[in-house]
Amino acid sequence: MNTKLIATLAAASAATALFVTGCSDTGSSTSTPSSTAAPVPAAGKSTASVDGKELTAKFDTTCAKQAGTLALALTDTANATYGSLSVSATLAGETVQAVAIAGSQGGSSGMPYAVGYGNGQPGGSATLAKDGNTFRVTGEGVGAPDMTNPLAGPSTVKFDITFACSTIVG
């Protein structure tokens, strides 16, 4: 995956967050999981981890559905580490179409922070576990390259994101 695709995924994340900003919530409900992926946490709290490290954030959770596509977003516009932080996923049925984790700061060499996954693009994978209106997306994406060593290329980054939706708009 190239830097241009990572930037596109980050922009898509921000657009998703803006699209669903008017419908934020922080709760959840539960039922039986619909996938064989890792179980969905029952606590009803939205969280995001990258390479096993939980992102410290005060997330607003937004969930919206239109024409079979479910847009999920976590936003923290005043994050101490990542500035304006957005974590998003787009689902079509049981398929994860895209994942984007983007911060206006916190990347290498003072650059913005970015991790992305796109279904069908090389360099990643994603699975979905669903429990009522709580969605857990896990997998691997591609991180932005370290600009101090651009020849090293992008890195593979593991992510584990829980979107706890009290309601789904649409």
- The Cβ of residue 1 has, within 10 Å, a number of other Cβ atoms equal to 20
What's the rounded Cα separation, in Å, for the pair 152 and 97?
Answer: 27
Digit-by-digit pLDDT tens for the chain (170 residues) are 343 333 334 444 443 333 333 333 333 332 233 334 455 554 579 999 999 999 999 999 999 999 999 999 999 999 999 999 999 999 999 999 999 999 999 988 788 999 999 999 888 999 999 999 999 999 999 988 777 787 877 789 999 999 999 999 98
Residue 130 in contact with residue 40, Cβ under 8 Å?
yes
Residue 86 burial (10 A CB sphere; 0-12, 13-18, 19+): buried
Residue burial 105-130, b: 16+ Cβ < 10 Å; e: rest? ebbeeeebbbbbbbeeeebbebebbb
The residues near 162 (Cβ < 8 Å, ≥ 6 apart) are 40, 41, 45, 46, 47, 48, 134, 135, 136
The residues near 47 (Cβ < 8 Å, ≥ 6 apart) are 41, 54, 55, 59, 160, 161, 162
Residue position matching structure tokens 């796109």: 118
DSSP-based three-state secondary structure for 81: coil
